[in-house]
Amino acid sequence: MSADIRPSLDLDACVEHLRGLIRIPSVNPPGGGPDVAAGRDPRGGETAAARYCAEVLSGDGIEAEVIELTEGRGSVVARLRANGPATDPPLILLSHIDVVPVDAESWTRDPFGGELVDGMVWGRGAVDMKNMVAMELGVMLALKRSGAELRRDVIFAAVADEEAGGEHGARGLVEQRPELFHDADGRPAAAAVNEVGGYSMTIGDHRFYTVQVAEKGIAWTRVRTTGTPGHGSMPHPDNAAIKLANAVAAIAADQATRPMRIIPVVADFLSGIGLADVAELAERDPEAASAALEAAVDDPVLRRSIDAMLRDTVTPNVVHAGKKVNVIPGAGEAEIDVRTLPGTDQAALLAHLQGVVGNDATVESVVSLPAVEWPADAEIVDLMHQALRAADPEGTSVPMMITPGTDAKALAQIGIPCYGFAPLRLDPDVPFLSVFHGHDERIPVSALAFGLPVLADVVARYATRG
């Protein structure tokens, strides 16, 4: 038996911590200036958010260390130690405190106001992922206040720079301070609980919860072209902008024909949500699989999410060429977001893209991070499914691969399994996937009211003694 720490939870405090964290403009990159942070100065925002968490923890007697691998780009790590000898390796409660930039003019409310309106908390980070920071803070405080006996250390790690690969956050900490993720005997953590999974989605008239056990790889890629500068009034074919446009168009056309490939966890996910026919059709009849997916899933954002689980994706997102309207540019550059399924050879895919763009452009890797997969039958995963079933007997929980990347890739470097589990029960009309990195990011308090005790139940059953 394990301790029940749920009576020690404080939902109101959790909501206020979320609002307080949103008010800190911890925008990544911090050098983007006020334009990316609704008029605020984002420099030092990550450290300010780390200090906020440290103060909350220290207020209840939990010692916390704020670590700046780079000035102004702080992370915070705290530890509740096992009572007596640790019989099991640690559990990490992982989150990130950086957020992506905002276009303030496109928001209905102040992106960094942390407003609570009609039961909804608004602001950048409400979904990605300060809600999880606040819930994990709440669980740490409840563990401490309850006096529960721990059979393993519980480590709180809220880190900087997740949105740009983790050099100044999780990846840097793993490389420079690996002891933070081990116990006194040198054992690495048995598991980490991270973002993205755990939320509900409604398909037809049924509610499903996701437990993330895998994520796609990342291969951020640069495409470059060169040409001969000249006066814009005298056009010639050696124009870097035209070459870049042709290269980007060729990449987009190639993506439109990219084949589907079903990996086992995606097959299990599709079967679990009633879309086994999509998995069965995907590799032999992609058009039929796409038609079946469209017929079964009304939400276009959810459809795109599922479709991206079925193939490698190559998305041109940033294009630069030229500096003045009357000057033919001598150079052009595009940034391409490549996401790869487990088992994909990233180097081979980039070589394929070089063939797609031809000799008028060069393709080079900027950041390469592998896909990760962890056992879907691990003890902590089973506890996640049990906790969701207990909290919502009418829902169904399923394993899932996510298409974004997270700090799970950093912990994978030292062999720590990292599972996405930020439990949230969402009504069908609540936007969730669409506000990741989008305008008007917001989250219902009711979702936190559901998720906080579910998360606490999993942590207590995994980490405490009876």
Q: Say if residue 466's pLDDT is above 80.
A: no
Task: Give the max Cα distance, the chain.
Answer: 81
SS3 18: helix
| CA–CA distance, 192 with 158 (Å, rounded to integer) | 12
DSSP letter (8 states) at residue 69: S
At 413, phi and psi to the nearest 5? -65, -25
Q: What is the Cα–Cα distance from 155 to 141, expressed in whole angstroms?
A: 12
Task: State mean pLDDT over 428-442.
Answer: 92
User: What pLDDT is attached to residue 200?
Assistant: 96
326, 195 Cβ separation under 8 angstroms: no
- Rounded CA-CA distance 157/219 in Å is 26
Q: How far apart are CA 353 and CA 214, in angstroms?
A: 25
pLDDT in tens, 346-402: 999 999 999 999 999 999 999 999 999 999 999 999 999 999 999 999 999 999 999
Asked if the model's pLDDT at residue 84 lies above 90, the reply is no
pLDDT in tens, 170-219: 999 999 999 999 999 999 999 999 998 999 999 999 999 999 999 999 99
Kindly write down the DSSP assignment for every residue of 378-447, as one continuous string: -HHHHHHHHHHHHH-TT-EEEEEEESS--THHHHHTTT--EEE---B---TTS--GGGTTSSS-EEEHHH
CA 48 to the chain's CA centroid: 21
**In contact, 437 and 358? CB cutoff 8 Å:** no
Computed over every residue of the chain, the mean pLDDT equals 96
Q: What is the mean pLDDT of residues 131-154?
A: 97
Q: What is the DSSP letter of 182?
A: B
What gap in Å lies between CA 63 and CA 54, rounded to an integer? 8
What would the two tokens of residue 63 be? 């010692």
Is 399:376 a contact under the CB 8 Å cutoff? yes
CB atoms within 10 A of CB 298: 12
- How many CB atoms lie under 10 A from the CB of residue 352? 15
Rg of the chain (C-alpha set): 23
Q: pLDDT band at residue 431, thresholds of 50, 70 and 90?
A: confident
HSE-CB for 329 with a 13 A CA cutoff: 18
pLDDT number for residue 2: 87
Q: pLDDT digit string (tens) for 9-66?
A: 999 999 999 999 999 999 999 999 999 999 999 999 999 999 999 999 999 999 999 9
φ/ψ of residue 451, rounded to 5? -75, -35
* Neighbour-count burial of 4, counting CB atoms closer than 10 A to its CB (0-12 exposed, 13-18 middle, 19+ buried): middle
What are the beta bridge partners of residue 91? 154, 191
Structure token digits, residue 359: 């000799």
Digit-coded pLDDT (tens) for 313-323: 999 999 999 99
Cα angle value 380/381/386 (rounded, 5°): 95
Taken in order of first residue, the domains within the chain and their CATH numbers are 6-213+372-463 (3.40.630.10), 216-369 (3.30.70.360)
Q: Using the predicted structure, report yes or no on whether residue 86 has a pLDDT greater than 80.
A: no
| Residue 129 preceded by cis peptide, ω within 30 | yes
Terminal C-alpha separation, the chain: 4
Tokens of 231: 């006066």
SS3 state at 118: coil
Confidence check: pLDDT of 1 > 80 = no
Strands 64-68 and 74-80: antiparallel
Interatomic CA distance for residues 82 and 463, integer angstroms: 9
Report the share of the chain in percent with pLDDT over 90.
95
Residue 97 vs residues 35, 218, 332: alpha-carbon distances, Å: 19, 21, 33
Task: Compute the average pLDDT of residues 294-312.
Answer: 95
Query: What pLDDT shows up at residue 331?
Result: 98
- Asked if residue 338 lies in contact with residue 208, where contact means CB atoms within 8 angstroms, the answer is no
State both tokens at 302: 């959810």
The DSSP output letter for 114 is -
Non-local CB neighbours of 381 within 8 Å, separated by 6+ positions = 211, 213, 375, 399, 419
